[in-house]
Amino acid sequence: MQDIYALSDKTIRRLNKLAIRRFRDTEKKCGAGLMPFDELTIIREVRQLYADLDADNRKAFLELAGSVYNGTTPHGDVKPDQFWLMALLKEYSPVTKYVYENEVNRKRDYTTEAVIAAVDKSKEFKRGLLYWGKFVSAYSDIVADEAALQAFKDAGVKRVRWITEGDNKVCDECHDRHGEIYPIDDIPPKPHVGCRCRLEAVK
Ligand SMILES: [Zn+2]
């Protein structure tokens, strides 16, 4: 059995490195303290920044989904494609309590306004990066979970068992679910972002 969260962590680290560079470049393009920030430049550059970050995510998430799918036992033979990912990112997530696509736009607008309004622009770029990092972590895990679930479904698995990490960081709600068996179409959503409980196919 592979650890899908090790794969997710690798994706998160890679995306975070990219995001750090992109935020830094955008800050430079917006003036970086050398001259007064121009509002239209900020709007344009921040819009481009979030479009690029989103594209980075989609590329990396698709690769992650493929690796998780193929590494899951059992799995089918219809590897997640970009349409699969697109559908997932358009869906409301009961874990994050929002839709991925809406949240990208919300974060972009928030950063744009904060940078325009703030005296310390740099601080707002840093804040934007911090929030983006949390967002990427949450969705990387969701993509990994969904790809593993898709692999089970494609392989004809009917029931799954909930398995916690078994350490002392497991929350009460997850602890109570440990070992529970659910029909594959009726699995309760993860109770919180960052939950790394996994599902096991029941024969
Ligand atoms: Zn959990």
3-state secondary structure of 202: strand
Question: Are residues 126 and 147 both part of a single domain?
Answer: yes
* Number of structural domains the chain divides into: 2
Residue 31: its pLDDT value, please?
Answer: 75
CA of 153 to the centre of ligand 1 (A): 21
Residue 1: its pLDDT value, please?
Answer: 46
Residue 128: its pLDDT value, please?
Answer: 98
Going by C-alpha positions, the residue among 7, 16, 6 that lies closest to residue 134 is 16
Residue 76's Cα: distance from chain center in Å?
24
| Cis status of the peptide bond prior to 74, with omega within 30 of 0 | yes
Question: Are residues 119 and 199 both part of a single domain?
Answer: no
Residue 33: its pLDDT value, please?
Answer: 56
Contact in structure between 199 and 148 (CB atoms under 8 Å): yes
Question: Are residues 119 and 141 both part of a single domain?
Answer: yes
Question: Are residues 114 and 198 both part of a single domain?
Answer: no
Q: What is the pTM of this model?
A: 0.93
Question: Are residues 100 and 184 both part of a single domain?
Answer: no
The span from the CA of 119 to the CA of 105, in Å, is 23
- Show the CA angle centred on residue 62, arms to residues 60 and 68, nearest 5°: 100
Low-confidence ranges of the chain (pLDDT < 70): 1-2, 32-36
Question: Are residues 175 and 102 both part of a single domain?
Answer: no
Question: Are residues 22 and 100 both part of a single domain?
Answer: yes
Question: Are residues 98 and 14 both part of a single domain?
Answer: yes
Listed residues: CB within 5 A of ion ligand 1: 174, 195, 197
Question: Are residues 98 and 178 both part of a single domain?
Answer: no
3-state secondary structure of 183: strand
Residue span of the structural domain in which 174 resides: 158-203
CA of 173 to the centre of ligand 1 (A): 7
Question: Are residues 51 and 124 both part of a single domain?
Answer: yes
Question: Are residues 75 and 173 both part of a single domain?
Answer: no
Contacts of residues 198-201 at CB distance under 8 Å and 24 or more positions apart, as own/partner, are 198/4, 198/5, 198/145, 198/148, 198/163, 199/145, 199/148, 199/149, 199/152, 199/160, 199/161, 199/162, 199/163, 200/160, 200/161, 200/163, 201/73, 201/74, 201/152, 201/155, 201/157, 201/159, 201/160, 201/161
Joined tokens for residue 82: 């970009």
The span from the CA of 1 to the CA of 18, in Å, is 30
Question: Are residues 176 and 102 both part of a single domain?
Answer: no
CA of 111 to the centre of ligand 1 (A): 31
Amino acid at site 78? V
